[in-house]
Structure 1
Amino acid sequence: MNVPTYSLAERDRRWALAREIMEAEGVQALIAYGEHECADLAPFAPDVYFTNDRPGAIVIFCRDADPIELTWSTLPVADHIQALRRGEELWIRPERIRVAKHAAGVVEVLREHRLESGKVGVLGLDPYPPFHINPIMPHGLWNQVLAELPGVEFQPVGLSYLFATICQSEEELAVVRHSAATGDAMAEAMVEAARPGASEADVYAAGMTAAFRRGLAAPDMLISSGPGFVSWGPPAWSYRPQAPRVIEDGDVIMAEVFCRFGMKETQHQVAIAVGEVHPDIEVGAKVARAAYEAGLAAARPGNTFGDLVEAMRAPLEEAGAWNVHPLVHTLNPMGPVCGFGAGLRRLPEAARYGRLFEVPTMGGELPLAPGMTFAFEPNAVIGDRLTNLGGTVVIGEDDPIELNPLTAQLLRSRP
């Protein structure tokens, strides 16, 4: 298997972007807080972007010096030593790594570089949708940093990071394509496993096995099955003690597959009809496909993310349908996201719940540019039945690049 890797040229490009962010923001240092390792969906990992190393660090750039990596324990250091013994090309020198992912560690680095005053940019003080609507920086850690360095003006720089990193390099696009191909392999395996009498867990396991065999260590999946439903999320048996549902003839299986390779993510919307499904599912598939095609037509430089959202919404509005989850959002990094959930109030049960509000579209002003990656996930509820399809799309110089046309349609289980 030909597996893409990152070069030191890619490292230098990214470190140069860090310094461009610092210059644009007028700061003398940049602190990148990384979410803990083993995070599930949409991890917040600007630390890995700059280290190409194990997730869960704080990375600090001070003026023109090489970055310092603060790890949470000795375990990442042991991994670094082992990688050096294997002759792997690492980005951070051992002398720049410390077991000090805490407030005292951050303060020590800034004081060593005489940054007790002035401006410092921070990644971790901005919201990071869709899951981190509030900033991810730990309250206790950050309060202690503020108390120790009252003369420093810390400012969020999340938007600058988004704009600097959202257009992928050629090396990054190679990694994205590898991830996307794995998503197709997962979808194919899931179709093979989708049979009456099999369980949701069987289908889930088939997809995950395909990913693991291709060397993806952190795939994930949302999955539901039944004759029709409007729910969306991880299987109930993954968080509630109950048996996985057994698939029946006439069911539809809806899944969202997440592939992450080299911390670049692709997403794949897998819809599998098991036998003859309800007519509303078939209609929903046509509406979702129309939204997908409308999105492709709008996914061009010169348009904005808001233009893309409106194009994909139009077929749903014409059909009187609504979307359970976003129709589209950015990847690598996450950021602008299409609004969703407004139709939930149509359900008769909705009146029994407390405050219900839809998530609005965020980042509609983002101009589309070549190298941006998007999760196209058009979904349409017809009656009480959801249909969802799509995959990862790259903005090209002229036309968009579909990485997953396989899953941009309603798939059929094979008898």
Structure 2
Amino acid sequence: MTDTPMHPYRRFSLAERDRRWRAVRQLMAREGLSAIIAPPNPGNSTDWQADTRYLSHCGGGADTSIGVVFPLDGEVTVVATSARERWGPLVQDWVSDVRTVNRQFGAAMGERLLELGLDGSRIGVCGLEGGTRTPEGTIMHGTYRALAAAVPNATFIDASELMQDVREIKSEEEIAVLQCSIDLVERALDAQLAAAQPGVPDYVVWAETMHAMFRRGSELSVHFNWVSGANPGRTLTRPTARPLREGDLILGEIESSVIGYRAQRLPVVAVNRCPPLIAELSALHGEMYAGLMETLKPGVTVREMIDATVALTRRAAPRRGPLAGARASLILHGRGLGDDRPLVLTKLDGEPFYGATLRALEARFPENGVYICKPSVATADGRVEFAWGDTVRVTPGGARRMGSMPHGVQVSEARPFADWPQDVTVYGSAA
């Protein structure tokens, strides 16, 4: 042991570790699994190795590749590059068996299974088959081949759903971290409102938004989508160099990351003034959203949430005027360490269009599940759409928003803003 103090990262407690490990092992025993392999794959903003971080408390950083061997009985093992320096006792206190493997992850995890005497056993593998956003799985082919070669008599079983069973229900410690994450996002939205002025490049407003989170302690990597314009519709994957105009809308999916936990907001910001039709859609959306929060209780199914989205909008829509016959769609998915279930994606009028959504229609939301709920409402012809969302927690009395900013479109106040680089930029290259 060392007397050197641990690096001052925010951490979960050992009690939280014990809670998770106990819950996972109970399900492993039920399924007859002797161990779970959580392989490295830092793709999709590290979503694809969320099980690894969940079990080990090792991770953080966009290029971090970590694998975990989690036995039903025995010591948990982490395999990584420069493992002791990056993930040893100065960084986390959950796992003491941390091994440097020079990126030979499959062979190293197989070696650990042999040490445990588990060749010939049933081994769960996270990401062996499809997940909510990963229908082809997430374990790399070479990792799987090396693992299978090391324990040729083992039977490999997909453990993705088992881990989702545990991860979907959040503890009080997890909810507190997600609350910190959404608080960082809302400070980012303050910065966005200040920078969203006519003539300011789109990239600059995005950068001010992200900077406000990172200077308060958000990790990388985080997911973001972003688009601006007169009628932007769905979000793009990144901002452009276009100068903003008065009346533009900015639509972005904004997340921060606290110990890897990423709450999300889908705000709508209008530059100095809001188009009247958007204001009307925002008010209609607010009425529908309040009804959804009352609907989203423990035991409610995904199908019932989709139906409620459509029905609430039809009920609230006026019989005459531009919003007559307004339509709605629902996007809702888990928030936590990444790719938490379910993934609910529908078209206008509620038709599911993604395989994971179809498989989840009868799934029931649990108490203390945490989700980003971001439905949209649109004119009857679908040409103008308004989407807005917040991270919400499911309680017996309905869902509770975790954000504190008011629902709906927010209008930036006209004020001077000229604080962006002029020396080396890409802004002048926009068409």
Give TM-score scaled by structure 2 length.
0.82
Gaps of 5+ in 1: 238-243, 344-356
Distance change >3 Å, CA 5–CA 110, structure 1 → 2: closer
- Kindly indicate whether residue 152 of structure 2 is the aligned counterpart of residue 150 of structure 1: yes
Distance in 2 of aligned mates of 1:410 and 1:286 = 9
1:47 to 43, 52, 61: 52
Q: CA offset at residue 46 of structure 1?
A: 0.7
Matches within 5 A, 1:111-122: 111-122=114-125
In the aligned structure 2, how far is the partner of 1:173 from the partner of 1:70? 28
2:265 matched to 1:265?
no
Alignment of 1:91-106 (within 5 A): 91-93=94-96, 95-99=97-101, 101-106=104-109
> Over residues 187-222 of structure 1, what are the superposed CA-to-partner deviations in whole Å (9 max), with x where a residue is unaligned?
111111111111211211111111012100224421
CA distance in 2, matches of 1:43, 1:103: 16
Which residues in structure 2 correspond to 1:26-65 (within 5 Å)? 26-36=32-42, 39-40=44-45, 42-54=47-59, 55-65=64-74
Counterpart position of 1:409: 408
Indicate if the aligned counterparts of 2:167 and 2:340 stay in contact, CA closer than 8 A.
no
Percent identity over the alignment?
22
Contact preservation (8 Å) 1:204, 1:221 = no
Question: 2:375 aligns to what?
Answer: 378
1:15-414 to 2 correspondence within 5 Å? 15-36=21-42, 39-40=44-45, 42-54=47-59, 55-71=64-80, 73-74=81-82, 76-81=83-88, 84=90, 89-93=92-96, 95-99=97-101, 101-130=104-133, 132-218=134-220, 219-235=222-238, 237=240, 244-316=241-313, 319-323=325-329, 326-332=330-336, 333-341=339-347, 358-359=353-354, 361-362=357-358, 363-382=360-379, 383-406=382-405, 408-414=407-413
User: How far does the alpha carbon of each residue in 1:379-414 deviate from its partner, in whole angstroms, 9 at most, with x for none?
Assistant: 234342332212100012333221114163111111
Deviations 1:5-32 (CA, angstroms, capped at 9, x unpaired): 4111111112212212211211111111
Structure 2 residue runs of 5 or longer lacking an equivalent are 1-8, 318-324, 415-431
| Amino acid corresponding to residue 135 of structure 1 in structure 2 | G
Check conservation: 1:281, 1:387, Cα contact below 8 A: yes
Q: For 1:79 and 1:198, how far apart are their aligned partners in 2? A: 40
| 8 A Cα contact 2:129 2:137, kept in partner | yes
Cα distance, 1:263 vs. partner?
1.5
Shift of 1:248: 0.4
Deviation per CA, 1:221-265: give whole Å up to 9, x if none: 21111111333231254xxxxxx1111012111111012211212
Please state how far the C-alpha of 1:43 moved relative to its aligned partner: 4.4
Once the 2 structures are TM-superposed, how far is the Cα of residue 101 of structure 1 from its aligned partner? 4.4
Residues 38 and 49 of structure 2 are in contact (CA less than 8 Å); yes or no, is this contact kept in structure 1? no
Q: In structure 2, what is the Cα distance between the partners aligned to 1:192 and 1:167?
A: 36
Q: Give the whole-Å Cα distance in 2 for the aligned partners of 1:228 and 1:366.
A: 35
Letter in 1 for 2:67: I
Mapped contact 2:125–2:160 kept (Cα < 8 A): yes
Q: Is the 8 A contact 1:25 1:121 kept in 2?
A: no
**Separation in structure 2 between the aligned mates of residue 32 and residue 291 of structure 1, nearest angstrom:** 40
* Native 8 Å contact 1:120 1:155 kept in 2: yes
CA contact (8 A) 1:391 1:405 kept: no
CA contact 1:227–1:277 (8 Å) conserved in 2: no
The CA distance in 2 between the partners of 1:279 and 1:358, in whole Å, is 31
Task: Describe the shift of the 1:379–1:410 C-alpha distance in structure 2 as closer, same or farther (beyond 3 A).
Answer: same
Query: How far, CA to CA, are the matches of 1:34 and 1:106 in structure 2?
Result: 11
SS of structure 1 residue aligned to 2:392: strand
Distance 1:365 1:209 in 2: 40
Per-residue CA shift, 1:261-285, capped at 9, x if unaligned?
1121201011011244434323332
| Equivalent residue letter for 1:171 | E
Q: Could you report, residue by residue, the CA deviation over 1:16-66 in whole angstroms, capped at 9, with x for unpaired residues?
A: 1221221121111111124227x5274441111111112521111223112
- Shift, 1:178, TM fit: 0.5
